[in-house]
Amino acid sequence: MKSLVSTGARCVAPVAAIAAVLVSSSASANIRITEVMSSSNGLGAPTPDWIEITNYGSSAVNLSGWRMDDGSFNFAVSAALTGVTSIGAGESVIFIESAAGAAVPAFLTHWGGLAGVQVGYYSGSGLGFSSGGDGACLFDAGGAILSQVNFGVASSGSSFFYGWDSAGVLDSAYNGIVSTVGTIGTQVGFSSTGDTGSIGTALGVPAPGAIALLGLAGLAGRARRR
């Protein structure tokens, strides 16, 4: 009897570890670029370019080693995402173009403090979104492209935003839409010191309760298959 109990205990750890990896991989696959600013206005004091990414998955994801690039979509010349180590389920975080993050405090002030919103940074030679049209790309630590978007000619002071579903599919109705003040879908755009966006929020993100249920459903499904 003792050996059976011991054998059972040894079996649990690998199964739990595999489940954890599967949940993490699924969550990573559902992180998307949800907003981009390529031409800040800022009433004479423009803020840097920035991207917003959102976790549509049911688990927090470690961002260590993740990188971004502009329209070349090239991991070899991409820049490290720094200053934000983890993104929670349903969370939107911002990364601005800023050497060593020096512009982060001014950026937070510009957007009214952004209470509760994580802001990181990136920098590198040749980076910078063109106001005449460009793109943005998100890589995981292994160089896999998790999300990429394209956008056209900028409207000065307005961001572009994107809507996705929980499976990571882009909604064609919200593909690079120029931000305006007011409600579009479930997203509210607002102006702050000359710039317009919906920074820190995204379309199609499940409510916290729904995210928890998605995670439980995924684990239950894997348990049944075992």
Closest Cα to residue 206, out of 86, 85, 54? 54
The residue segments making up the domain with residue 72 are 2-225
At residue 29, what is the residue type?
A
**Adjacent-strand bridge partners of 8:** none
Side-by-side strand order, sheet with 182-184: 182-184, 187-192, 195-197
Q: For residue 146, give the CATH number of its domain.
A: 2.60.40.1260
Query: Would you say residue 16 has pLDDT above 70?
Result: no
Distance CA 113, CA 105 (A): 9
- Which strand (E) or helix (H) includes residue 146? strand 145-151
Q: Give the pLDDT of residue 186.
A: 77
Distance CA 130, CA 154 (A): 8
Enter the pTM of the model. Answer: 0.81
pLDDT digits (tens, 9 = 90+) for 55-90: 999 999 999 999 999 999 999 999 999 999 999 999
Q: How many domains does the chain have?
A: 1
